[in-house]
Each structure stands twice: as structure tokens, then as C-alpha cells.
Amino acid sequence: MADEILLEKIHDLSDLELAALLSLVAREHCLISTPSDALDDLLEELQLVASRTFGLSCAVINCDSTTTLDTFAASLLVKSQQTPTGPVYANTNAHLAASAPRQRPTSSDQDSLHIGNVILARNLHLAPHAVQIQALELLRTRRIFTHTAVHAAPKQFLFLPVLGAESGGAARVTKHLNDYMFIGHWHDPEDGYVNLEDGDDNVNVETASTDSVVKVRVTHQDQKDYPFPEALVSEADIARLSTLSRRVDVDINVTRYRMNIISFLRMHRAVADGISPSATKHLELLCRCLAPLHKVAFVTPALVGLAARKVYIHRIRIAKPENERSMQWGSKLGAVEAILDGVGPEELIEDVLTMVTAPL
């Protein structure tokens, strides 16, 4: 009965909330993209998703070509009156200590800072390569060095590069960080912003009493940092979904179908640089995470197709006509250009899913 109530809540979530939920369940990270002129609205929506839907703290990093390692590290930290969700250790690195400023924060200042549960890295692809590699190191080790301390990531930790791009297939960060991203999600502004639109209906902070019940209403701006006592999807809910995903059964025919999709992707003439092994692992993991959300205890071919669209959209690079493999065997450049014209990662994935026969 408890699982039924949980699934009913999940079915009311928006696409952005589901993308974040799947990443939290898998303990992985998600790349989100949208047209550049809609980035501000998307960031506002994601901050509300973090606080209202999951009850998590959120930090926003605005990246560009001038972003430094120090700026990136400092932007990860948020203040809290509560106990930090990740431990803070004294920095004993001699090299870092030598370069630290003379006036260091007090121990009380350090105790009030911790890495946010949700990190929104706006236009991370514009940041210098060193900053993006630092982001990858954060995801791998779950900690960040500053001049004065080492901050550990909290248990519930989600890193979301939020990029402005023409399409989901055009959004990517530096190579190794890009491959580390669990899924890619393209948000069409026409799909709307559920939490942002709900916030527009609220007024300034006020209280109204009905009998013995006191209701508090807050403005949209206040909602991003407002400490909601009960999240729509709690940490216990996420843990329960994670447990259910590990119990999902996978039939051998479905496994064969998934591996056939991977083989066709690797051999497709339009794919450059192949398909990485980490993408294969993420595809299996996402299939398992999707099953409980669809009220099934097994992976279906339809779930494999849905997972493939999310796992590979940001990973696939389209080959240049002059580098397409048939050019080695005498194909004409004009003919290859005509074949590859208008082909993007989205079209390529759909082409492969059409060619591979799903089991009955």
C-alpha cells in the first residue's frame, strides 16, 4: 500500500522532476539543456524542484570563460543553520595552505558551509577545461578542496550542468565529464514550468488562521530558500525506489535486445568515436530504475527504448562526412554528405530503434 501511495505521487511529477528523481535513485548525475533564451526560467524551475519536490539545498554556479577553480569551489558551498550534511576537514595540504589568504574563516564559519545537495552549473561547457575537470573530480571523489578545508558532498548529491543549446544532442561538456553524466534531458520551453507557474499565484509572506490551523504563504522568490518541512519526495522514498530497482528482473531476451541496440549504435555509419562502456552500464542501470516507476518488477523492451533515448542523446557525436568509414572504401564525398545531412543524435537513435527488432 505504501508503494502505491509513493507511485501515485511520482506519476504527478513533471519531466524535469522525473529526470532529477531518476538521477537521485541511481546516485548519478544528469545533463539538462534548453534554448539559451530559456535558461533563466529553467534555472528558477530547477531551484524550486530542489526545494519543494525533494527538500534539498541548492547552489547555482554561473560559468563562463573567466570562471576560476577558486570561484567554482566557493560557489558549491551554501550556508545552513543546521548541521552540515557532509563532514568538513582541516586542509593539511602544504601547497594549498601556503597560498591561502592571511585572514581565514573561523571554525564557526566553516561549520556553517557545506556543499549543496543540488548543484546547478549554468553553461558549464563555457568554463575552462580545468574547471570542468575539477567538476569531474568532485563527482568521482565526492569532495572539494578549498584554501581552508576539504568539504565532502552530502549523501543526497545531484550535479546538474544546465546548458543552452539548440537541441539535446548539441548539449555536451568536456569529453570525460560528458561521459560521466548518467542521462541527458532536453527541456522544451513549450512544456512549461510547473513549479514556477504555481509560484506566480502566491503572494507575499502572510499568515491566515482557520480555527487552530495556521497556513503560511510565501512568494516565488522566497520558495527557493524556504525550508519546507516535508518534501513531496523524501529521502526515504528515494531509498525505497533504489531498493526496488535492484530487485528488478531482466529476461535474457530483453538483455539481448539491449545489447543489439548497443551493437547497432557502435556500427552505425553516422557515429563518431563509438559508444563508451560507461554508457552501456548506465543503460542497464536506467532500465532498472525506470521499472518501479512504471509499476512493473521487470524490464520491458519499451523501457529499454526509453532509456536509450536518455542515455545516448548527449554522448553520440555525429561523424564528419570526410571521416565516415565508407570513405575508406571509395565512397563519394557528395553521396556521404547527402546521407548524413540533417542527422543528429536524436535521429540516429530513432533510426537504430527502428532497425532493431524488439522481442515479443
**Structure confidence by residue, pLDDT tens digits, 264-308:** 999 988 898 888 999 999 999 999 999 999 999 999 999 999 999
In angstroms, the Cα distances linking 199 to 15, 95, 224 are: 18, 47, 10
Q: Alpha carbon 114 to chain centroid distance?
A: 20
- Copy the grid coordinates of residue 176: 570525460
pLDDT bracket for residue 203 (50, 70, 90): very low
Domain limits, the chain: 14-198, 247-355
Three-class SS state of 255? helix
Task: Write the DSSP assignment of 113-147 as a string of letters.
Answer: EEE-SEEEEETGGGS-HHHHHHHHHHHHHSEEE-S
Residue 110 has a pLDDT of 53
Listed residue (360, 352, 346) closest to 260, CA to CA: 352
Mean pLDDT, residues 121-144 taken together:
96
**Structure confidence by residue, pLDDT tens digits, 139-170:** 999 999 888 889 999 999 999 999 999 999 99
pLDDT bracket for residue 2 (50, 70, 90): low
**Structure confidence by residue, pLDDT tens digits, 169-193:** 999 999 999 999 999 999 999 999 9
Cα–Cα distance between 21 and 127 in angstroms, integer?
Answer: 27
The dihedrals phi and psi of 99, each to the nearest 5 degrees, come to -95, 5
Cα–Cα distance between 300 and 160 in angstroms, integer?
Answer: 28
Residue 264 has a pLDDT of 95
pLDDT bracket for residue 211 (50, 70, 90): very low
Mean pLDDT, residues 61-88 taken together:
78
Cα–Cα distance between 296 and 249 in angstroms, integer?
Answer: 10
Please state which CATH class domain 14-198 belongs to: alpha beta
Contact 152, 146 (CB under 8 A): no
Q: What's the chain's average pLDDT?
A: 84
Report whether CATH 2.60.120.470 matches the domain 247-355. no
User: E strand or H helix at 262, and its extent?
Assistant: helix 252-267
Mean pLDDT, residues 7-22 taken together:
93
- Count H helices, E strands: the chain? 16, 14
DSSP 138: H
Strand pairing report for 118-122 and 30-34: unpaired
pLDDT at 61 over 80: yes
Cα–Cα distance between 10 and 294 in angstroms, integer?
Answer: 10
Contact 85, 117 (CB under 8 A): yes
pLDDT at 7 over 50: yes
> Positive or negative CA dihedral for 197, 201, 204, 209?
negative
**Structure confidence by residue, pLDDT tens digits, 328-338:** 788 888 888 88
Listed residue (63, 60, 35, 37) closest to 48, CA to CA: 60
Q: Residue length, the chain?
A: 360
pTM of the model: 0.83
pLDDT at 82 over 60: no
Cα–Cα distance between 341 and 326 in angstroms, integer?
Answer: 16
pLDDT at 215 over 70: no
Partners of 215 in beta bridges: 208
